[in-house]
Amino acid sequence: MTLIRAIAFLLHFTLVPVAVGRLITYKLRKTQDESPIATYVLGLFGALGIFYILCSILVWHQYWNTFTEPFTGCFTALCIAYSVVIAVLAIVWIKKDLAAIKKFPVYVRAKFAHCKVNFKNSKLIAVYALIFVALLVVQLYFAFAYEINEWSYDDYDYVVNSQDTITTDTIAYANFITGEMPYTSEKRVVTAWPTYIAYLARVSSFEVTTVCHTILPVILLIIAYTVFCYISLFLFKDDENRLIFMILLSMANIFGLYSHYSVTFRLLGAIWQGKAVLCAIAVPFFMVYLFNAYSEKITNSRLLGIALFSLGSCSLTTMSALLVTATAVAVWLCMSIYNRKPWGIRYLVASLFGVLYLLLFFMLMRALLNDMKHGSNIFNRSRSTNWWYKWFG
């Protein structure tokens, strides 16, 4: 039973990102060779973007139908809806990409043979690779051993919030101290990451604390170093320099500025939190991916991937409104200066899609919550005119 639960959990970090990523880059692959790492990370955050859309719809439905007593059942509806959507996307991917799936073992053997040749040609590459693997194993061990006991003051936003989501069958609805419902603030109701953790715990039957403090740190650390590997591929041409970069980066993370407000702490201390995933994984990848996209031919085939990645990043925390905007605008300005004219406006708009969605959702929820507290001033809502209560109340 534990094995089945583990497989159900791991599918959301293996099969699902690959399926969504391959569908996102389906048209792009006809003209340009997309990196497997980029495809995977785009798929991971693309799936988060899909979850965010469904979550925001059901959060709105939940609060719109709250009058005197708590309105429950939306979390179960979200789990079912997201599972169905992902299952459909996986089936579509298998149907469209069956030929590539069959060739995957050949691709793996070719990559393995290439690495073997590199090791034979340069003993230093083998030495650097072993050093990096050793450093990574040390970090993975401490991600598991240390974070079991690490209890950050932000855990009420993640562990407690996610546990309340499962217990009450609601979304961002309960007071994390008293359990009172409905009780929330705009910054919590417009982010989906704690709800996604609750979803992972529901489908795998693992405890929320186990998910946050035991499983996610190891998985997210591997994903973070996969992103760092993607960055090294962008910066350097030869494997020796790439491995040296990864070793130096590992050492900097292990011995760097280790305070509660540094990226090193978010990476190695509390990576299950939304702001940590944003700073340690999403923003570094997004910056390099945009530089790579702007440096090649501007094409509409990339717009969906950029927009969904932006949306998935903005589902993590409200801080993403600042950091995603800064990243997108900074890269666009750099490439416009380099090309001596406004360059890739379409990419800029797509990269800000998640921010615009987050801000719009924030303003709508703020207005709705104010109406709930002080009476309907903006939205015309009442139990007598509510279609849900007319049909199902």
What is the per-residue pLDDT across 232-242, written as a single tens digit (0 to 9) for each? Answer: 999 999 889 99
pLDDT value of residue 151: 67
pLDDT value of residue 21: 95
Please tell me the distance from the alpha carbon of residue 184 to that of residue 27, in angstroms, as a whole number: 41
Please tell me the distance from the alpha carbon of residue 279 to that of residue 292, in angstroms, as a whole number: 19
Please tell me the distance from the alpha carbon of residue 303 to that of residue 274, in angstroms, as a whole number: 24
Report long-range pairs for 84-89 (Cβ below 8 Å, ≥24 apart).
85/50, 85/54, 86/16, 86/19, 86/20, 86/47, 86/50, 89/19, 89/20, 89/23
Instruction: Spell out the per-residue pLDDT of the chain, length 393, in tens.
Output: 678 878 889 999 999 999 999 999 887 765 555 789 999 999 999 999 999 999 999 999 999 888 888 889 999 999 999 999 999 999 999 999 888 888 888 888 888 887 877 777 777 888 999 999 999 999 998 888 776 666 666 676 788 889 999 999 999 888 877 778 887 777 888 999 999 999 999 999 899 988 988 899 999 999 999 999 999 999 999 889 999 999 999 998 888 756 666 777 778 878 888 999 999 999 999 999 999 999 988 888 899 999 999 999 999 999 999 999 999 999 999 999 999 999 999 999 999 999 999 999 999 999 888 888 777 677 877 777 776 676 765
| Residues ≥6 apart with Cβ < 8 Å to 295 | 335
**End-to-end CA gap in the chain:** 38
224 within 8 A of 101, measured Cβ to Cβ: no
DSSP 278-316: IIIIIHHHHHHHHHHHHHS---GGGHHHHHHHHHHHHTT
Would you report the helix, strand and coil content of the chain in percent, each value rounded to 5?
75, 0, 25
Instruction: Indicate the DSSP class of residue 11.
Output: G
Q: Amino acid letter at 36?
A: P
Q: pLDDT tens-digit profile of 48-99?
A: 999 999 999 999 999 988 888 888 999 999 999 999 999 999 999 999 988 8
pLDDT value of residue 167: 93
pLDDT value of residue 33: 57
pTM of the model: 0.94
> Which region holds residue 344: left if phi is over 0, alpha if psi is between -120 and 50, else beta?
left
Please tell me the distance from the alpha carbon of residue 42 to that of residue 51, in angstroms, as a whole number: 14
